[in-house]
Structures are given as structure tokens and as C-alpha cells.
A and B are shown apart, each in its own frame.
Chain A
Amino acid sequence: QVHLQESGPGLVKPSGTLSLTCTVSGDSISSTNWWNWVRQTPGKGLEWIGEIFHGGNTNYNPSLESRVTMSVDKSMNHFSLELTSVTAADTAVYFCARLGRGFDYWGQGTLVTVSS
């Protein structure tokens, strides 16, 4: 059974950096799947942030690309998201997800609030 779990601070100060990790169990981060981050807000709905392959290849949403970095740690079987220069508009529930047959496995989601 594949399981994804997000972890990271739930509160980030404006202009700071949001950092989240997604730990994968039941599948190898080195499999043929792409590993994704998606966020959700009441106002903008579901927004795809980007994806990473185990070799380090990435695709980012152009709307966030200048502020996003994703990385993979094969030894820990996890992948990570960094989003810099955050504002209140980055307050959202952040999900990690595996792209298989659609986004077939998701983490439970973690609420990140940007506030001083």
C-alpha cells in the first residue's frame, strides 16, 4: 500500500520560505513515477505547483517557477518543496501526490499559513 505523508511548519512569516517534505512508503522514490506538489485554497481551488523525477528532472508551474525548488532524497525516500518570498496568498493546504494513473496517491494535506 502506497502512503505519502507531508511534514513541515504550519506557520511561515511573510517574505520567508515555506519548506515541506513528503515521505513515501510502499513505493520507491526511484520508480518510474513523477512526484508532485498541489495546493488548494477556497479562492483558487486546486493548483498544481510542480513535479520531480528521481533523476532530478523537474517541471514547475510558470506562475510559481521563480520561487519554487523541488528536490529528491533517495536515501530517505522523500521529496521536498521550497517556496520562497511567501505572502498571504500562499496560505493553502499543500498536498504531495504521485502521478501514476492520474494523481493516484495523495498525502493527507498540510495547512500552511503565512502570517506574522
Chain B
Amino acid sequence: DIQMTQSPSSLSASVGDRVTITCRASQSVSSSLNWYQQKPGKAPKVLIYAASSLQTGVPSRFSASGSGTDFTLTISALQPEDFATYFCQQSYRTPFTFGGGTRVEIK
């Protein structure tokens, strides 16, 4: 299985801050990497697919980059509705696998 490792596991930030989350794959997943946001009691919501493509309807303050094994999700200016948990997920090879998540909390 391809292991996905996210860091940090949690962070505290203020509204307006720039936030960066990283995801590392145990082997290359090319650009088959997706990012999700999840709020308590809800299903994950896809933000970014294919490593850097913004899903329709997702605010442009979200961006992502990377390929191979190293990926980054950036929120350029954190908004109150962005406090949530973020996951990366590889869709390069089954079994599809998720990172452990990064909880973004209010400072």
C-alpha cells in the first residue's frame, strides 16, 4: 500500500494567516493526489484534484502543488469557515489511501 503522511497533524492559526499543509507519499503517485476538507459530522469535500486543479466552486484562496511524492496545500488567507480538518488522498493505485489529517484550529 502507498502510505500518505501529512504534517503537521494540527496547527493553530488566525483569520487572515497563510497556512501550508504538506503530504508525502511513500512512493510516487505522479499527480494523482487529491485534497479534502472535512468539518465535524460531515463528509469530506474535495478541494483540489490531480495535485493542483481547483474543484468547481472552491474559493481561489485554496491552492496546491507537487508531484511524485511531495505535495503542498496552501490557504492564502484563512477565513473563519476554513477551520476544519484537511486530508490528502492518492488515487494513483488501489488501495486508495488517505493521509492522517491536519486539524486547523483557531488561535
Question: Which residues of A are in contact with B by a Cβ distance under 8 Å?
Answer: 36, 45-48, 51, 59-63, 95, 97, 99, 101-104, 106-109
Contacts and interface: CB of A to CB of B under 8 A. Distances in A.
A65 to B, nearest CB: 9
A-B complex: 6 closest residue pairs judged by Cβ atoms: A102-B34, A106-B43, A102-B49, A46-B98, A102-B46, A101-B49
Mostly, the A contact residues are: strand
Contacts of A102: 34, 36, 46, 48-50, 55, 89, 91
Contacts of A51: 94
Given A101-B53, A102-B36, A102-B49, A48 B43 contact: no
Contacts, number: 59
Given A46-B98, A48-B97, 5 more contacts: A36-B96, A48-B98, A102-B34, A106-B43, A108-B43
Contacts of B55: 101-102, 104
Q: Chain B, interface size: which category?
A: 20 to 34
A62 B95 contact: yes
A92 to B, nearest CB: 13
Contact of A104 (B46, B97, B101): B46
Interface in B31-70: 34, 36, 42-46, 48-50, 53, 55
Contact of B43 (A36, A63, A107): A107
A50 to B, nearest CB: 8
A45 B98 contact: yes
Contacts of A104: 46, 49, 55
Given A46-B87, A59-B94, A63-B95, A106 B44 contact: yes
Contact of B95 (A45, A61, A95): A61
B106 to A, nearest CB: 21
